[in-house]
Amino acid sequence: MFGGDARSELMVALDDPLPFYHKYRFADLIGRCGAMLDVFLKIINTAASEANVVIIGESGTGKEMAARAIHEHSRRSKGSFIPVDGVAVSAAEDATALFGLDSRSNSRNSHEPGLLERAHGGTLFLNDITELDLRTQAKLVRVFEDRKLPRRNGRGTVALDIRILCATAHDPVEAIAKRLLRSDLYYCLNVVNIPIPALRDRDGDIGLLANYFLDRFCDENEKSIEGFSPEALDALQKYSWPGNVRELRGLVEHLVVTQESKLPITLKDIPPHLHDATISPELFTLYDLPFKKAKRNLVDHFEKQYIEKLLKRNNGNISHAAIQAGVNRKTLHRLLNLHKIRHFVKGRRKK
């Protein structure tokens, strides 16, 4: 991890990539590719301020880790870091967890602080902010702008000294258009925007992370595994990692738990869908199904993949695609509807 003068150390590392290989960890984030170095610099610059931050990235990329890094390098580091799960708050159907609870019994008023108050003096991290219902989002706009929390019984307000960080896996502009995110809340929060790259876009980091997790889980499980074979590591680096770092971490932990000590991890230990791009992970469940159902699932998978590639080759033109496939337009339309495939027609997306 970088020391007290994190910015200076990082700038030296940018000039000399070899030392940075040995300093690949910043807080709980690990990476040495250019995109992650940009993330580290943004965290350092942002941490020194009180600005609100929106962190954008796919699921499993490390958005909460980035938020914690900002908090840990800020003047609020001795205060609380309070994560709020937008999905959980939305599922509760009320915002008591956020705003607190006021009640009256036996002629006495009582108040149970919510997460907003618990973050006083520290940092509030709103994860999956687009999962919050629009009514709750509207309340948050007023609270964040005024830094005051109205008591739910209507009696006064509570002053809030908090810093707000939030995260989403959605493109904010698209989320606003789909009414998943209020524009006024986004403009309130989006003082600084930090995009976290997907693992597939982090050149050179897959091997770095795989070896880090290997060492970590070997220590936890008291095992000694002689690394990855070149073929196994190559397969990991070529895989697209839809689950990002979270998926890689889970895979390496599985490999460590199931692998004999002192033996290297080879290509045969790696799940086939990771090194055969034509195989979907879902297909490996076929062998647990009755024959007819397994066959139907396999045919469905083939049809969907075939038609998607067919349309891509023909720029979404149904007539040309049908001719190339040797079927009529009616059959192709039926398959499109059956598999719910979207396609582009003359620059417009059609469902």
Are the C-beta atoms of residues 60 and 246 closer than 8 Å to each other?
yes
Bridge partners, 112 (sequence order): 101
User: Residue 44's CB: how many other CB atoms inside 10 A?
Assistant: 20
* Angle 326-329-333 from CA coordinates, rounded to 5°: 115
Q: How far apart are CA 244 and CA 199, in angstroms?
A: 5
If you write DSSP's letter for every residue of 49-77 in order, what string do you get? Answer: S---EEEE--TTS-HHHHHHHHHHTSTTT
Question: Which DSSP state fits 282?
Answer: G
Q: How far apart are CA 64 and CA 78, in angstroms?
A: 18
User: Structure tokens of 276?
Assistant: 């055969």
Residue 112 is predicted with a pLDDT of 79
Residue 2 is predicted with a pLDDT of 44
Q: How far apart are CA 338 and CA 147, in angstroms?
A: 51
User: Residue 144's CB: how many other CB atoms inside 10 A?
Assistant: 21
Q: How far apart are CA 235 and CA 229, in angstroms?
A: 10
pLDDT digit string (tens) for 158-204? 899 999 999 999 999 999 999 999 999 999 999 999 999 999 999 88
- By three-state DSSP, how is residue 265 classified? strand
Q: How far apart are CA 154 and CA 316, in angstroms?
A: 57
Mean pLDDT of successive 10-residue stretches along the chain, which has 351 residues:
51 46 72 90 93 95 96 95 87 72 58 87 95 92 90 75 95 93 95 95 92 92 91 91 93 91 87 68 61 80 86 87 90 86 53 46
Residue 83 is predicted with a pLDDT of 95
Report all structural domains of the chain as residue ranges with CATH numbers, in order of start: 49-103+111-197 (3.40.50.300), 200-275 (1.10.8.60), 284-350 (1.10.10)
Contacts of 225 (CB under 8 A, 6+ apart): 214, 218, 256, 259, 261, 262, 263, 264, 265
If you write DSSP's letter for every residue of 105-141 in order, what string do you get? Answer: ETTEEEEE--HHHHTTTSEEEEESGGGS-HHHHHHHH
Look up the pTM and report it: 0.72
Q: How far apart are CA 322 and CA 268, in angstroms?
A: 40
